[in-house]
Copies of this chain bind each other. A is one copy, B any other.
Amino acid sequence: MVMPFHDGLIVQTQSHDYPIVITEQSTTEHSSMAKQITSYISGRQVLIVTNDTVAPLYLKALEDELAEQFTVKVCVLPDGEQYKNQASIDQIYDALMTEHFNRDVTLIALGGGVIGDMTGFAAASFMRGVNFIQIPTTLLSQVDSSVGGKTGINHPQGKNMIGAFWQPQMVLADMSTLKTLPARELSAGVAEIIKYALIMDEAFLTWLEANLPAMMALDLAVLGEAVKRCCQYKADVVAQDERESGVRALLNFGHTFGHVIETHEGYGNWLHGEAVAAGMVQAAELSQKIGWLTDDEVIRIKRVLELANLPITPPAIDVDAALDLMGHDKKVKHGQIRLILLKSIGDAVMTNEFDSQLLHEVLSKHSA
């Protein structure tokens, strides 16, 4: 369901196929973001949506070059998860309406996952659906948002509660944008990359163990290879389960434990990828207590996370508070806590068939 080509891959979805172009060229004199995406813009109208962190880095060059061929309007939103809300979507709608843009418009998401999710949802809902292109500028969004079509915003009472499945016309993942990414965010992105190795492919974990030092030193070719592999893994999973009724849930490995950390510590204090890293260790520890993983495998998982400067220990959280937070997780069905655990490295399962005492032990290991 996914076909590699020379510098990326083609993702096949129910609505249409689209390419993920993985390159290092867009910010060099040899090419540009505009040159890479122009042929995927079908109309004459373009709205670039970005945030006030990314705009100073990449907006002007993109805007100026696109303006040679298209009517270009820009919507710069404030940076941060707290702005992933209806008010920001309304700003995008207002920009589109003020410019009298119509069904032929293409929205361009220039930024990380928050910008991508919001721009995608605005594209899904403006005039019942218009085209959009993603230019993810963080490692996390290059790995996580390029495939799957999930778009949306937060509701005051819950994350990602409002949204749509909507596929882009193309994704431009330019590794050179990672040169301006803060080191903590690079690590947070690597956490998601390691996740794919743990749930799907032990051989990829071996590859990461060898290549993580180069990735952390911003070897763009190696980073590009890692991104490409992860997009491929995700595309394979999503193709089996576009609307997340089954196997796609495995992509949430580490996320239920991580959700507890993020919520308890307050969003933004732990980055999502950091919380997922510590959460994956907890999931691995539970898998070991059940008898699925060996002690050595748990140590191996911790070591690879440490290579990426990621936390392997959660903050101190009271066990009852943690269980309560798990009970409010979207992945809970009928009150039973279902977790994604590892049968072995590269083989994940979703299950609620484990002794709750073992979960209690894992949570109490670091409890307040």
In chain A, positions 148-167 with a C-beta closer than 8 Å to chain B are 150-152, 155-158, 161-165
Select the stretch in A106-114, A120-128, A348-356 that faces chain B: A120-128
Distance between A213 CB and nearest chain B CB, rounded to angstroms:
38
In A126-141, which residues have CB < 8 Å from any B CB?
A: 126-129
Indicate whether A97 sits within 8 Å of B161 (C-beta atoms), given known contacts A86-B86, A330-B102: yes
Q: Closest chain B residue to A161 by CB distance?
A: B127
Per-residue interface assignment for chain A, residues 156 to 180, with 1 indicating a CB less than 8 Å from any chain B CB and 0 otherwise: 1110011111000000000000000
Q: Which residues of B contact A243 (CB under 8 A)?
A: 128-129
A125 with B128: CB separation less than 8 A: no
B161 contacts A126, C-beta separation under 8 Å? yes
By a CB distance below 8 angstroms, the chain B residues around A97 are 155-158, 161
- A86 and B161 CA atoms in complex are apart in Å by 16
Shortest distance from the beta carbon of A327 to any chain B beta carbon, whole Å = 11
Chain B neighbourhood of A98, CB < 8 A: 157
A70 at the interface (CB under 8 A from B): no
Q: A233 interface residue, CB < 8 Å from B?
A: no
Whether the pair B164, A128 counts as a contact (CB closer than 8 A) is yes
Q: Which residues of B contact A129 (CB under 8 A)?
A: 164-165, 243
Most B Cβ at <10 Å: residue of A125, A129, A157, A158: A125
In the complex, what's the smallest C-beta–C-beta distance from A183 to chain B, in angstroms?
33
Q: A102-B330, A164-B124 are in contact. Are A155 and B86 (CB under 8 A)?
A: no
Give the shortest distance, in Å, between A360 (CB) and chain B (any CB).
25
